Every structure is written in C-alpha cells, then in structure tokens.
Amino acid sequence: MRQFPGPLLLAALLTAAGLLLTTARSASSPIRFEFQAIPFHLENDLTPARNAPESMPGGVALFDYNRDGRADIFFTNGAPIATLKKDEPKYRNRLFRNDGNGAFTDVTEAAGLAGIGYDMGAAVGDYDNDGWPDLFVAGVYHNTLYHNNHDGTFTDVTAKAGLDRSQDPEFGPLWAVAAAWVDVNNDGLLDLFVVNYMQWKYDSKPLCSFQGQADFCHPRFYKGLPNQLFLNKGDGTFEDVSARWGIREHVSRGMGVGVADYDQDGKPDLFVPNDAFYNSLFHNLGGKFEETAFPAGVALPEDGSFVSGMGLDFRDFNNDGYPDITFTALNNQTFPLFLNTGRKTFREVTTESGLRTLTLRMAGYGVGLYDFDNDGWKDLFVARGHVSSLPQPGLEIDQHNTVFRNPGASGKWLALTEEAGLAARPPARHRGCAFGDLDGDGRIDVVVTALGGDAEIWMNRSEHTGHWLDIALEGTKSNRDGIGAQIKVVTKAGAQYNHMTTSVSYASSSAGPVHFGLGAEGRAESVEIRWPSGMVETLSNVAGDRVVKVKEGKR
C-alpha cells in the first residue's frame, strides 16, 4: 500500500517545494539584465520654478564612432536653464568609448563633443556616406551637427550645413527634443527630420504648482511647434523643405519620431507621438508627406483621449512583415500598442495583448522593440518614470524600468521588472534609452538615462537565449547606413522582419546592426534585404550567432 506523508512532513515538503519554485521562477525568467555603472550624471538644473525643459533630458546614443566593432555611448546633458549655456564641466555631453570587457573611457574632450547648450536628443547617421557615423544633437534653441573626422574627433558643422537657424520667424525659438536620419526621397543621402516640442520661454512661461510648490505645467499651457525636414543636398548642406513636404502645417508637441515603411510602398514613413495632442503619421507620397494618423487609426489610443505620447518604436512585433507602432505615455494612459493591419490602417491591441492592465499604472519615456531573449519575437523595453517632480498620493514618480516579453503567436505579454533584475537599482525618473549589443554576445543590451540621476547600463544576461543573427548593412546606391532597408529572415520556425533605423525610443539613437533572434534554429534558410534603392538581395543558408556584413549589390 502506498504511504502518504503525515501532516508535518507534508508541510515541510510544501515549504521546500515553495522555495524551489521561487528559486526556479527567478532563475528561469526568460529575460534578465545585470546593472553596470557608468560615470554619467544627468544634470537637468532643476530649479524651484520648474521650467519645462528641466523635465525633458536626456537622450543617449549607441554608435560605433571609431569603427572598432564595439558600440560606444554618447549622452546629452543639460545646462543652466536661465542661460542655456554649459558653464561648468558637469553639464558636458559625454562620449564613452567602449574598450571591451565592460570598460568605458570618457573621451568627450578628445572627441570634441562636450557641447555648448541645453541638449536633449541624439541622432546618429552617416549623412555624407563616408563610412563614419555622424551625430546630430537636438536641444533647446540650439541644434548641433557633428561631423565625424575619422580619427576619434568630431567637428561642429552646424552652420556650414545650414542647420543653425533655430529661430523661426513665425514660432520663435525652436526647442528640439529628437531627430531622425531618414532618406525620405531615396536618393542615397540621409535627410534629417527634427522633432520640435513646444513654445517655451524662460521669461514668459506659465507657472504651475502643487500644494503650494511649483511643479511642471501640463503641456496644454504651451503652444506647439512644427517639426522640420531638411533635405540632404549631398554637398554637406541641407535645405529646409518642411513647408514643401507638408510637414510645417502640422503644429503639435512632438516627442519622438519613428521611421518605417508602414504601407510597404518603398518610401519611408514617419510616426510622431505628440504630448497631449493627436499623434502624427506622415505618409510619404514621394516629394510630399500627407498626415494620415486619423484615417490610419493611430491619432489617438482606443480611449479616444489625448495622452502624453513620449518615446516610440515603429517596428513589426508580430512577424507579419508590417511595421507596428508602440509608444509610451503616463499613468492611466497605458503604453498603447498598434497592430498594422496590412491595409494602411492600424488596430490598437493594447487591451487584448494584456499590455493595458500591465501598463495602466506606469509612466514611461524611452522604449524599444527588441528580441531580448532571441526567441524570434521582439520584446518591449520601457525606461520608466514620471514627468512630475513632486511625490503625490497614488502616483509613483520614480519607477523601475520594465521589459515586457512578447508571448509570440498567441497569449498575453508578460511584464518583467524584479524578475528581469531591473529592480537592482532604485527607481528613478528614467528618460532616454538606446539599444545595442555592447559586448558582442548576441544579446541586446540597454543604456538608460535618469533625470537628475546616474545613467544605467543594463547588460543582457538572459540565460537560455536562442540563436541570433545580426545583419550589418552597407549601402552603396542606398545611403551607406542602409537606413530604411527592410530585412526578412526565414528559418524553419517561420519568417520575421526588421528594418534598419537608428531612431528608436525617446530622444535617443540606437546602434545597428539589425538584430534577429533565431530561437532554436542555428541558421537562417534565407535573408532577404530590400534596400531603399529598390534593390533586393537574398542570402541563403546563413549561419547564425554572428554578424553578417552585407554590402549593397556586392553579392
């Protein structure tokens, strides 16, 4: 006869089982990050008056500025709010060279990237197709274009490039928060789209308070600004074509820009989340954009209310070949997720994906859709934190970052915070974040900024990750970075899609190559690349767990 344990023994067994389960659950979290410090403190010059720019920095860019094969890190930084001029070393923007083995060296001075103004966003792109990544820095009343000199240094070419006009005759001084490099006319030259936020002036600003203490005003107190589009003329200069291309007429409060060809017509489109206003979806007609957010169904989330749209990613998360959209917002607004129907419209799936319930109490800025566990499905990382500077009942101002695991073909998304190791640091008001493989291990790492706090490097230490494949593009007829190129990878498990862009997240710029998780498959049956030039190239039987370099038209 079978013997059952007595009550005491049973209790002991249950306890042991519980412990085992707890340990197993923690260890088996599909995505795990490990914190690594980096000596950068984001100085926003928080003043008692709570000027709007003080809540907005800062961006981060991952890019291999010295072409040594390792992604380096650039941070934007603030300045005294009254002068908007960096007058102390603590306000310098910072460039950290990735020396490998987790070591980063501050090379800001040598590189000439300290900056001069109150800076916000960063956008990386090789605008002159010389093979070396250049850097655009967006800021309050002042943008900067840095040309890469190929020797570890940069030159400020803003004026030479014709990008130094930050005073608009109609709207006054412009405050840019983000930018994207994108070849809007597919002429092989990267153009520049600058996201402008709102009309703020130090001397004539609204003052808002909470329980007698000043705090940041709602954006509705400020008038918006138009975004700008600069066409690359190929001679190191740019032409402002905002009006001609249908951008200038749309005045709003832009917070970021994502680049993707959502209708697969071969021309890159732009999505701009706006703060407390309709989002903008600029459909590229070739020579002009039409704003089509309402007909496409992405002007507003499903509640039909204005939300504080922040950072975004414009990328296919369900592997159907059509770029989808997600963006961050504040508490009670969710992080909406829009599914591209393939018919030039989007359908919001925040509720049915489970993200509504998971994100309703969260606020976020930076965001990115990357396959962190290399299972073939892109997950969602959010740099979380609120706008407000004062604690309020029921509202978390400082928040932990969270990664949401994509369930794949079916099921609900899963929020991983403590489980993913992201509670290893105190909560903060996180802002920008950028993505890339900092240690070359095939797992996407994240660098996050925190308002008035230390930056955080989150090294991806996920165990049991799948195989991976990174595609490093080099355009010849297309722009050299291959920005806008669409890649389809087919394994035995199915097809998945991604495209080349550095414009991801909030005020930030992420590093190539284009990353794919292959899951259990060690190789891809095919890799199809659709270049912005229109050329289509296909690679067959590509081994995984490596970076494959593809030069346009050379295979």
Partner 1 sequence: MPSGHETTPIIYLKVMRTALLAALLTACALGQEAAVEQLFSGALEAQQRGDFALAAANYQQIVKQQPGFFGAWANLGVVLVRLGRFDEAIAAYRSALHLDPSNRALQMNLALAFYKQGDLRQAARELGELHQADPGNPQVATLLGDCWLRLGDPQQALLVVAPIAAAHPDDLDLAYVLGSALIATGKSREGLALVERVATQKNNADAYLLAGKTWLKIGDPDQAMPDLEAAAKLNPALPGIYTLRGVAREGTFNNDGAEADLRKALELDANDLEALVHLGAILYTKRDLASAKTVLDRALKIDPSSLFGIYEMALWKSASGQLEGAVRDLETVVHRDPNWMQAHVQLAALYYRLNRPEDGLKERQIVERLSAEQQKAEAGGARGH
Is residue 133 within 8 Å of 63, Cβ to Cβ?
Answer: yes
Binding partner 1 by CB under 8 A: which of 7, 101, 394, 410? Answer: 394
Is residue 504 within 8 Å of 313, Cβ to Cβ?
Answer: yes
Label the pairing between strands 467-474 and 546-551.
Answer: parallel
The answer to whether residue 360 forms part of the interface with partner 1 (CB under 8 A) is: yes
Closer CB to partner 1, 163 or 451, in the complex: 451
Binding partner 1 by CB under 8 A: which of 299, 416, 444, 450? Answer: 299
Lookup: tokens for 531: 């270049």
Which residues 328-347 are close enough to bind partner 1 by CB under 8 A?
Answer: 330-332
Least distance (Å) from partner 1 to the CB of residue 394? 3
Amino acid at 219: P
Closer CB to partner 1, 354 or 432, in the complex: 354
How many angstroms separate the CA atoms of 328 and 313, rounded?
Answer: 9
Q: How many residues bind partner 1 (CB under 8 A)?
A: 42
Binding partner 1 by CB under 8 A: which of 187, 302, 439, 454? Answer: 302
Bridge partners of 363, per DSSP, are none
Least distance (Å) from partner 1 to the CB of residue 418? 21
Residue written as tokens 């990115």?
A: 368
How many angstroms separate the CA atoms of 483 and 475, rounded?
Answer: 9
Is the torsion defined by CA of 535, 126, 194, 197 positive or negative?
positive
CA-nearest of 553, 544, 371, 542 to 473 is 553
Q: Give the strands of the sheet with 258-260, arranged side by side.
A: 258-260, 269-272, 280-284, 289-291
Binding partner 1 by CB under 8 A: which of 7, 48, 89, 393? Answer: 393
Q: Write each residue from 275 to 294 as x if it is in contact with partner 1 (CB under 8 A), else as -, in one continuous string.
A: --xx---------------x
Bridge partners of 195, per DSSP, are 178
The answer to whether residue 361 forms part of the interface with partner 1 (CB under 8 A) is: yes
Least distance (Å) from partner 1 to the CB of residue 509? 26
Name 303's Cβ contacts closer than 8 Å, sequence gap at least 6: none
Per-state percent for the chain, helix, strand, coil, to nearest 5: 10, 40, 50
Closer CB to partner 1, 300 or 489, in the complex: 300
The answer to whether residue 448 forms part of the interface with partner 1 (CB under 8 A) is: no
Least distance (Å) from partner 1 to the CB of residue 448? 20
Binding segment (CB under 8 A) for partner 1, from list 187-195, 239-247, 300-308, 493-501: 300-308
CA-nearest of 536, 524, 539, 467 to 494 is 524
Which residues 181-240 are close enough to bind partner 1 by CB under 8 A?
Answer: 206-211, 215-218, 220-223
Least distance (Å) from partner 1 to the CB of residue 303? 7
The answer to whether residue 75 forms part of the interface with partner 1 (CB under 8 A) is: no
Closer CB to partner 1, 330 or 469, in the complex: 330
How many angstroms separate the CA atoms of 327 and 167, rounded?
Answer: 29
Which residues 395-414 are close enough to bind partner 1 by CB under 8 A?
Answer: 395
The answer to whether residue 47 forms part of the interface with partner 1 (CB under 8 A) is: no
HEC string of 429-446 equals CEEEEEEECCCCCCCCEE
Least distance (Å) from partner 1 to the CB of residue 486? 28
Least distance (Å) from partner 1 to the CB of residue 497? 27
The answer to whether residue 305 forms part of the interface with partner 1 (CB under 8 A) is: yes
182: phi then psi, degrees, rounded to nearest 5: -155, 135
The answer to whether residue 7 forms part of the interface with partner 1 (CB under 8 A) is: no
Using CA atoms, how far residue 509 sits from 142, 256, 451, 501, in Å, is 18, 11, 18, 9
Closer CB to partner 1, 77 or 308, in the complex: 308
Residues of this chain that bind partner 1 (CB under 8 A): 206-211, 215-218, 220-223, 277-278, 294-295, 297, 299-300, 302-306, 308, 330-332, 351, 356-357, 360-361, 386-388, 392-395
